[in-house]
Amino acid sequence: MPDDARPEPDPAAEADGIESTVLDLLTTPGGSGLWSAEEVGHEIGSQLKAADALESLYRAGLIHRTGDGFVFATRAAIRASELGI
Q: Which pLDDT tens digit goes with each residue over 16-46? A: 999 999 999 999 988 788 999 999 999 999 9
**Gap between the Cα atoms of 85 and 83, Å rounded:** 6
Which residue range forms the structural domain that includes residue 30?
12-83
The answer as to whether 2 is a domain residue is: no
Question: The pTM is what?
Answer: 0.85
DSSP state of 38: H
Q: What CATH number corresponds to the domain at position 49?
A: 1.10.10.10
How does pLDDT run across 2-14, given as a tens digit for each residue?
A: 566 788 888 899 9
Count of structural domains, the chain: 1
The answer as to whether 4 is a domain residue is: no
How does pLDDT run across 36-78, given as a tens digit for each residue?
A: 999 999 999 999 999 999 999 999 999 999 999 999 999 999 9
Burial class (CB in 10 A: 0-12, 13-18, 19+), 33: middle
The answer as to whether 18 is a domain residue is: yes
